[in-house]
Amino acid sequence: MRPLLINGEWLMTSHASDNINPSDTSDIIDSFAQAGLAETQDAISAADAAFASWSLTTPQVRHDILKTAGDEIMRRKDEIGELLSREEGKILSEGVGETVRAAQIFLFFAAEALRLTGDKVASVRPGVEVDITREPAGVVGIITPWNFPIAIPAWKIAPALCYGNTVVFKPAELVPACSWVIVDILHRAGLPAGVLNLVMGEGAVVGQCMVDDPRVSAITFTGSVGTGARIAKDSLPHMRRLQLEMGGKNPLVVLDDADLDVAVDVAVNGSFFSTGQRCTASSRLIVTEGIHARFVEAVAERLKSLIIDHALKPGTDIGPVVDATQLEQDCAYIETARREGGNLRTGGDLLKRDTQGYYLSPALITDTTPDMRINREEVFGPVASVIRVRDYDEALSVANDSEFGLSAGICTTSLKYASDFKRKSEVGMVMVNLPTAGVDYHVPFGGRKNSSLGPREQGSYAKEFYTTVKTAYTAP
Ligand code: ADP
């Protein structure tokens, strides 16, 4: 059993939960101690007590710990990447790639610790000095989802520690292994007791306990809209800062003048790689009339050629869906889309493989309209729908017709349309001739509308959430 980490001590509990490989449900990766209310409260107390001294450590101390952790993650990328693919089901190259990204994030924030600056501003009053500085927010509650088992914990934990906050971290129930590994690495890298606490367990118990505790000054969450909304509502009495990253229903527009090969690559990658389980996945393919038939034909052909199998098997293009519940949801959405008039062009079949896993062939649904549920609600699986439109203007209007606003893409060779789309997309991230999913680690990440609440994550913009600004006036 892998223990919790509370106040610098590894702690076993009477309760444990098995971590199961979605490529092979007979493969139990490990078992993980489960926190209840008492352990979560202890973790919050520890983080609260550790804040006074950690918040005053020098940037050098924080740099060195983050750098040591980043270097170890990079050194162990193959081993951790394999563990990631085993617990989440994305293919090995994606598992290793995500691990490298986590290492890069720690190295980026190691350096950021040394770069935090303030402002000195002339006062409007004679003789008065004004200093503007940033201070850590306090105890940060970190709640993460299952689809990026190491990158999302990294992009929340690294900036939290970099800017002098203490942390209570609750990973997703389905993927505790990579979280455990990075907490172990940070602990051994020299974090003082209580600065980073790991409480694995149920969202409704551990997560909710963090939300209900007034000592948690800030919560950063990635997950579903429903849970995000609940966290926002329950946080209101505590007036805490929030950073919520939730769903997407990301459009990819394909115009008549697109390079067909580029458009097909961008669509197949953005919609289906990582089993479509990315909040930035392109789930609505909005295609103009002149290229529609050729595009649909080429995407369907490509999908049929992909190998869906065990995530660790060499040659696999797409691994399994993460668990039985998610698989059921994916199939239910495909069924609803068909009932509402969509045409299942290819995929949507449950597949049998050598090992028992949650295998679903990538589904392409054509002849859909913007009002159908498949085009309004997030599926979070290897499922994309095609909406046929007349021209660019209709494509833009359909793309923006969503309660979500995370990422949007366009495939075109026209500078005019590309520029207009970048300007008018109601999203946080916009891609031209690139998949809607797949972003750099050193620039802001986040969305608009129901996709996000609060300041951006990643890059130097992360400090907007993890620090609070102080304006100091001095008279000589
Ligand atoms: P998903 O459907 O992707 O699992 P969730 O929003 O349910 O998305 O889960 C994202 C994270 O939020 C997980 O770590 C989960 O345990 C946690 N969570 C679920 N319910 C709550 C809650 N009431 N309060 C805080 N965190 C929660």
C-alpha 224 to ligand 1 mean position (Å): 7
* Model pLDDT, residue 399: 98
Take atom 10 of ligand 1 and give the residue whose Cα is closest: 223
Residue 3 carries which DSSP code? P
Residues near ligand 1 (Cβ within 6 A): 143-145, 170, 172-173, 203-204, 207-208, 211, 223-224, 227, 230-231
Q: What is the CATH number of domain 250-432?
A: 3.40.309.10
22-43 pLDDT, tens per residue?
Answer: 999 999 999 999 999 999 999 9
Under 8 Å between Cβ of 470 and 135: yes
pLDDT in tens, 126-145: 999 999 999 999 999 999 99
How far apart CA 28 and CA 145 sit, in angstroms, is 20
Ligand 1 centre from 143 Cα, in Å? Answer: 7
Average pLDDT rounded to a whole number, residues 229-241: 98
Mutate to test the pocket of ligand 1, among 169, 175, 205, 227 (most ligand atoms within 8 A of CB): 227
**Which sign does the torsion angle of CA 362, 366, 369, 372 carry?**
negative
Return the residue whose CA atom lies nearest to atom 26 of ligand 1.
207
Instruction: Check pLDDT > 90 for residue 227.
Output: yes
| Beta carbons of 248 and 281 less than 8 angstroms apart | yes
pLDDT bucket at 194, cuts 50 / 70 / 90: very high
The number of beta carbons lying within 10 Å of the beta carbon of residue 346 is 18
Q: Whose CA is nearest to atom 18 of ligand 1?
A: 203
Its pTM stands at 0.98
- What are the pLDDT digits (tens) for 410-453? 999 999 999 999 999 999 999 999 999 999 999 999 999 999 99
Q: What is the pLDDT of residue 362?
A: 98
Instruction: Specify the residue with its C-alpha closest to ligand 1, atom 3.
Output: 223
Q: Ligand 1: which atom is nearest the Cα of residue 226?
A: 6
CB 220 within 8 A of CB 465: yes
Q: What separation in Å is there between the alpha carbon of 146 and the centre of ligand 1?
A: 9
Is it true that 4-246+451-474 and 250-432 share their CATH fold? no
Q: What percent of the chain is predicted at pLDDT more than 90?
A: 100
Secondary structure of residue 248 in the 3-state scheme: coil
* Residue with CA nearest ligand 1 atom 23: 204
Catalytic residue among 87, 94, 245, 378: 245
- How far apart are the CA of 222 and the centre of ligand 1, in A? 8
Reported as a pLDDT band with limits 50, 70 and 90, residue 476 is: confident
**Model pLDDT for residues 329-366, shown as the tens digit of each residue:** 999 999 999 999 999 999 999 999 999 999 999 999 99
Q: 3-state DSSP call for residue 108?
A: helix
Atom of ligand 1 at shortest distance to CA of 171? 14
List C-alpha distances in Å: 407 to 130, 362, 452: 39, 21, 11
Our mutation pick for probing the ligand 1 site, out of 143, 220, 230, 377, counting the most ligand atoms within 8 A of Cβ, is 143
CATH 3.40.605.10 applies to domain 4-246+451-474: yes
CB 465 within 8 A of CB 445: no
pLDDT at 271: 98
Average pLDDT over residues 181-187: 98
Indicate if 79 belongs to the active site: no
Residue 279: active-site member:
yes
For the chain, what are the domain ranges? 4-246+451-474, 250-432
Active-site hit among 209, 279, 331, 411: 279
**What is the Å distance from ligand 1's center to 403 Cα?**
20
Q: Which atom of ligand 1 is nearest to the CA of 224?
A: 6
Question: From ligand 1's centre to the CA of 98, what distance in Å?
Answer: 21
Q: How far is CA 93 from the centre of its chain?
A: 18
Contacts for 322 with CB less than 8 Å, ≥ 6 apart = 22, 88, 89, 146, 147, 174, 275, 277, 358
Q: Say yes or no to pLDDT of 238 above 90.
A: yes
pLDDT in tens, 284-318: 999 999 999 999 999 999 999 999 999 999 999 99
Token code pair at residue 59: 């940037």
